[in-house]
């Protein structure tokens, strides 16, 4: 299992466009990704579930990644975080 944690820097928090993009990038990868924020969690494949977490700028989020391709999933998330989850 891999864990990632960081503070959300995007002014809009986690919104539909980057979440949909992240979900698409992770589709087909043999890994389960759960995001935890504000004491709640959701599978990243559920865009609506993640939106329901209400993640805003400054919130701390944690990704729990498991599966055969967890490193590949982690790399995708790290790259998107570097871009500020802008796209």
- How far is C-alpha 25 from the geometric centre of its chain's CA atoms? 11
Question: Which entry of 4, 10, 15, 41 is annotated as an active-site residue?
Answer: 15
18 is catalytic: no
CA dihedral (76, 38, 66, 51) positive or negative: negative
**To which residue do tokens 């701390």 refer?**
60
User: What positions carry a catalytic annotation?
Assistant: 15
């Amino acid at each position: 299992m891999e864990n990632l944690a960081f503070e959300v820097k995007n002014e809009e928090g986690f919104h539909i466009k980057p979440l949909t993009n992240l979900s698409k990038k992770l589709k087909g990868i043999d890994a389960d990704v759960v995001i935890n924020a504000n004491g709640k969690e959701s599978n990243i494949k559920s865009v609506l579930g993640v939106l329901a977490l209400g993640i805003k700028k400054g919130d701390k989020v944690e990704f729990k990644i498991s599966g055969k391709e967890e490193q590949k999933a982690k790399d995708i998330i790290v790259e998107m975080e570097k871009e500020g989850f802008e796209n």
